[in-house]
Structure formats: C-alpha cells, structure tokens
Chain A
Amino acid sequence: MAETDQYTIDQFYRFISEGRLMAVKCNSCGKQTLPPRQICPECHSENLEWIQIGTEGRILTYTIIYIPPKGFEDMAPYAYGIIELEGNIRLPGIIRDVDLDDLKVGMKVEVCFDRETSDKWPNWPRYYFRPVES
C-alpha cells in the first residue's frame, strides 16, 4: 500500500510539508473528514480518498492567547481561531499577520504553510492562517 493510501495524521502533515491542504472524502456517503480517519465516522465505510481542499475560510470563533504554552512564548499575545473551510471542514490554528483589534467572527482567512520540520518527534510542519487581503 502506498503511503498516500494511508489516511493518517502523519500523512496529513506530509501533505502540509508539500504545501497541500488535504482532507479525506468518503466515497460511500460523501462526508469530508479532517483530521483523517481510516474509517468514515459517519457510515463506517473504508472506501475513502484524499482530496485537496481550498485554502480560503472564515473565522468561526477566536481567542487571543496571552499566556502561551511551551514553545510559543515568543509569539504571545497571538490570535488563535477555529476556521471553517470548504466542505464544512474545521481546522484550529494560529492567525498571524492580523491586528488583534481587527479580529472578528466571520473574518476571511487563508491557510498558509510553514514547511519547516525538526528531527524531533513528531517532526510535523505547521500550518497557520492569515487574513485574506480584501
């Protein structure tokens, strides 16, 4: 089995390192899932495929983190939101390059790719969001 046939979180982040935002689509019921799962949570089908999804979305809700977790100390305070993407897919993450006073529910943002990885587990790259220029 090719690695891309595996519907794993590791594979999702491998796609991120290639600058692609991929989700899993169920060919039985049509549900699109992110994070990927090996069994469709809706209908239990294993007839799945990776699909590339658009990078534009909107903020469903957000917070501004003033007391950051380990590894994020240099960035605080920073905006963190849950973003709705095409196909009712939701993804959480940091919203960069935004004036914290401008944050709003419904604001349009896009997914960007930070392809850098380290040798340390889990050696995943990171994605983030930034406002779409209007």
Chain B
Amino acid sequence: MHFRLCYPVLDVLRWNTLRKPLASIVSAGLSKFGKREGLSGRELFVEAAKEAFENCPNLDPKRDIQALIIGQMSESFEHQGHSAPAVSDWTGLLPVPAVRVEVACASSGAAIRYGVLAILSGVYDVVMVGGFEKMTSRTTAEVTEYLAMASDFPFEQWNGVTFPGLFALMATAHMHKYGTREEQLAMVAVKNHHNATLNPKAHMQKEITVEKAMQSRIVAWPLKLYDCSLISDGAACAILTKPEIARQFTDTPVHIIGSGHGSDTIGLYERSDYTYLNSTRYAAKEAFKMADIEPKDVNVAEVHDCFTIAEIIAYEDLGFCKPGEGGKLIEDGETSLDGRIPVNTSGGLKAKGHPIGATGVAQLYEIYLQLTGQAGERQIDNCNIGLSHNLGGSGATCLIHIYERG
C-alpha cells in the first residue's frame, strides 16, 4: 500500500498564521564561549539564563516560565544524560516540565521549533528554550569520536570517515562541479574570524589571513584546520511567549515568523548529489512560505558554518545566490558586515565557537541582538528580518527560523 504521512496541523498553521508571528522572543542570553574551565554544562546554562532574566525585569521566571526545552548533543562529554531536569533545577524552574531534544548539532534549533509549536498548541504562554555543550574537558580524539556518532555507524564510521571528512567530500564535489576554490573556503574563515573580533563572547578573537588559513594543517583534504569550527564550551537560551502577551515583558520583542525543519538520509553517501543539502532546501521552503517572504528580504543571517564549505552551500540552498555561485558570493564580499547580506556577524561556529547543543539558540541570540540594535560594533544598519540555519550531522537534519523586529 502506498502510504504517505501528511501534516494537517502544519497546513492549518500555514493558513492561520500568514504574516502573523508564530511566537515572540522577549529575552535571550548567551554564556561566554570558549574553554570554560571548572564550569559544567548546567552551570554554563545558568550564566546564559541570568543574562536573559536580568534583561527582562518584567519576567518572574518562577511564576511565568511554564516549560523548558533544551538541546544537548551528547551525554559522553560530561557523562551526563537526563540533563533537562538538572538544567531546570539549576535555573530555578522546578517543577515545570523540562525535556531535552537531540538532532546532533541542530539540537537547540529543534528546541526553538518545539518551543514555538508548544506555544502554538495553546498549552503554554511562556516557554524557555536553550542548549549547551561542555566539550573542552575531553581530548580532541575523544571529541572527534563523540561527534562522529552523529554520522552513519555501519557504513560511514565503520569504514573510517571523520566529520571533517564528510564535509570534505562535499567540498570536493562542489569544487569539481562548480570550480569552487580552496581560497574561497578560506575566505569564509577570514570573514568569520574578523566578525568574532567584534564579539566579546566569541571563543576566538583573532584575525587570520587567507594565506594563513591555506597553510594550516590538513585535516581532511581539501579541508584544513582553519576550515573547521572550534571545540568550545557554552550555552544559550531564549524566552518565547505568545505574541499577544510579548509586550507585557518587553518593548522590543522579536517575532519568529517562520520555522522550517527538513530531514535526509543519515549517511551522506546515499544522497543523489553532494553539492547541496536537501534538508536545507526543504526547511527553507517551509520557513519562507510560513513567513511569506523571499530570500532577498533577509537582512542578516546566521548559518551553520561547522566547516567553511557548509557556509558556501548554505548561501546557495537558502537562495542568497544561485547554485554554484557561493564561492563568488564570499569572494565578492556580499556576506561581509558591509555586504548585501551579512552572514555570521557573530563570528559563526568557526570563530564564535561551536558548543554543539548551544549552537541553534546561539544563532537566535545573535539575530535577536541584531534586530534589537544591541550588536555593538558589528551592528548591521536597517535590520528588520533575520534568519538562522542550523544543521545536524552531515545535513540529515536542518532547522531554519525567520525572525522579524517587533
């Protein structure tokens, strides 16, 4: 029998919410990213939560927050599963429901999605979303092993590939099909490192050059050390409310107007093409349709630059340029702070850091700062619409959110 799942709830949602916010962000917080010695994941989360609470005096966390949804990739880092109630406890939220969602590096992107859906369900008015990862107490070999668990075990891991290796396979394919150059990959790293020097919370505050990136140690050809994101500790959170009540908490809410979530085969090899990600294309279509906007309407974006090639492919899959023109887009400076569509103003995963479970909400945090005019030296002018793009694994998961200044 031919059987296909359908999504009646989402269809209603699209019809019902055209140009109407799905949910509103009334506050957000981010811990400093980096090597945070002596602090556990839950303690890093509290650092982020304190910022969100302090910036929203009208919110009484104990009284108002009705549920907590967090992302965390792996229990292995801290030998700690079942982390949601612990995080909730440390944040002072017991006994409200707390749950952890996991889709590898997109875990807290999914926390946003399911926070939005929890509010849209009508059950909750105020939900806290967030994520964390404590990675630096492990050796690089251990981190590599835990991260690889997000790829296919029986065929990919068993046969000797690493995560950089999977994105290197995409880079080779992109270079072969479109003539994308290793220098263009390096330019992504140079841009994101520059942006991070303007972000006090970024893990790395160091300008680099194309030459330096090109000469760095090869990890998985054609990817070198400076094509790879950082191993970091960090946490991020945000307070979401029903749009109707957002102004009880703040004069400057940011609305979430689109949410997209796509999936693909866990093994990269099974896909029909390695130069784009179908999960991104699917999620983008859903999010743009829900928000009723086009890619050209986006003023600022945070995209998942776990490896430099991923940022170039994201430009193309999100419609910021045509397929194959991502290398040219970075080379022409279109995604720089003063470009047509600034991307990864925070420094991205590349230089701000990539504490896996925190990343999705950390992207939201940067867009929230940009849309509320709080991004300091890296503030983009005339910023009304922002987008975040969060990948899991080698792209078996993609979460996209679109935001509008309230």
With a CB–CB cut-off of 8 A, which chain A residues contact B176?
Answer: 61, 105
B396 at interface (Cβ–Cβ under 8 A)? no
* Cβ–Cβ contact A60 & B154, under 8 A: no
The answer to whether residues A82 and B169 also contact, given A67-B144, A75-B160 and a CB cut-off of 8 A, is yes
Give A120 to B170 CA distance when docked, in angstroms: 32
* Cβ–Cβ contact A60 & B164, under 8 A: no
Interface string of A63-88 (1 = CB under 8 A from B): 11111111110010110111000000
Task: Select the stretch in B32-40, B76-84, B191-199, B267-275 that faces chain A.
Answer: B267-275
With a CB–CB cut-off of 8 A, which chain B residues contact A93?
Answer: 155, 159-160
Query: What is the chain A residue whose CB lies nearest that of B163?
Result: A69
Interface string of B180-205 (1 = CB under 8 A from A): 00000000000000000000000000
Query: What is the chain A residue whose CB lies nearest that of B225?
Result: A67
* Cβ–Cβ contact A69 & B160, under 8 A: yes
Interface string of B269-284 (1 = CB under 8 A from A): 1100010000000000
With a CB–CB cut-off of 8 A, which chain B residues contact A54?
Answer: none
B3 to chain A, nearest CB (A): 6
With a CB–CB cut-off of 8 A, which chain B residues contact A35?
Answer: 154-155, 267, 270
* Cβ–Cβ contact A90 & B160, under 8 A: no
* Cβ–Cβ contact A92 & B159, under 8 A: yes
* Cβ–Cβ contact A94 & B165, under 8 A: no
Number of interface residues of B (CB under 8 A): 37
Give A71 to B158 CA distance when docked, in angstroms: 10
B90 at interface (Cβ–Cβ under 8 A)? no
* Cβ–Cβ contact A122 & B268, under 8 A: no
* Cβ–Cβ contact A92 & B157, under 8 A: no
Q: Which of A69, A75, A94 has the most CB of B within 10 A?
A: A69
* Cβ–Cβ contact A67 & B219, under 8 A: yes
Give A35 to B155 CA distance when docked, in angstroms: 8
B49 at interface (Cβ–Cβ under 8 A)? no
A62 at interface (Cβ–Cβ under 8 A)? yes
* Cβ–Cβ contact B159 & A65, under 8 A: no
* Cβ–Cβ contact B2 & A69, under 8 A: no
Give A95 to B141 CA distance when docked, in angstroms: 23
* Cβ–Cβ contact A69 & B155, under 8 A: no
B250 at interface (Cβ–Cβ under 8 A)? no
CB contact list, B148-186 vs A, under 8 A? 148, 154-162, 164-165, 168-173, 176
* Cβ–Cβ contact A105 & B172, under 8 A: yes
* Cβ–Cβ contact B169 & A63, under 8 A: yes
Give A69 to B168 CA distance when docked, in angstroms: 15
With a CB–CB cut-off of 8 A, which chain A residues contact B172?
Answer: 61-63, 105
Q: Which of A69, A75, A124, A128 contacts B161 (CB 8 A)?
A: A69
Give A120 to B173 CA distance when docked, in angstroms: 35
Q: Which of A44, A72, A122, A124 contacts B160 (CB 8 A)?
A: A72
B40 to chain A, nearest CB (A): 25
With a CB–CB cut-off of 8 A, which chain A residues contact B292?
Answer: none
* Cβ–Cβ contact B268 & A92, under 8 A: yes
A27 to chain B, nearest CB (A): 15
Q: Which of B145, B165, B274 contacts A60 (CB 8 A)?
A: B274
Query: What is the chain B residue whose CB lies nearest that of A127?
Result: B159
With a CB–CB cut-off of 8 A, which chain B residues contact A13?
Answer: 154
The answer to whether residues A80 and B155 also contact, given A66-B217, A67-B220, A92-B267 and a CB cut-off of 8 A, is no
Give A105 to B178 CA distance when docked, in angstroms: 13
Query: What is the chain B residue whose CB lies nearest that of A92?
Result: B269
* Cβ–Cβ contact A44 & B3, under 8 A: yes
* Cβ–Cβ contact B220 & A63, under 8 A: yes
Q: Which of A63, A90, A94 contacts B168 (CB 8 A)?
A: A63
Q: Which of A90, A91, A94 has the most CB of B within 10 A?
A: A90
The answer to whether residues A43 and B2 also contact, given A61-B172, A61-B173, A93-B159 and a CB cut-off of 8 A, is yes
Give A105 to B221 CA distance when docked, in angstroms: 14
B324 to chain A, nearest CB (A): 15
Give residues in A with beta carbon < 8 Å to B.
9, 13, 35, 43-44, 60-72, 75, 77-78, 80-82, 90-94, 105, 122, 124, 126-128
Beyond A63-B221, A66-B218, 10 additional contacts (C-beta under 8 Å) are A61-B172, A63-B220, A63-B223, A66-B220, A67-B162, A69-B157, A81-B169, A122-B154, A122-B158, A127-B159
Q: List 6 A-B contacts (CB under 8 A).
A: A44-B2, A61-B169, A66-B219, A68-B162, A69-B160, A71-B160
CB-based closest 4 A-B pairs: A63-B168, A64-B221, A61-B173, A92-B269
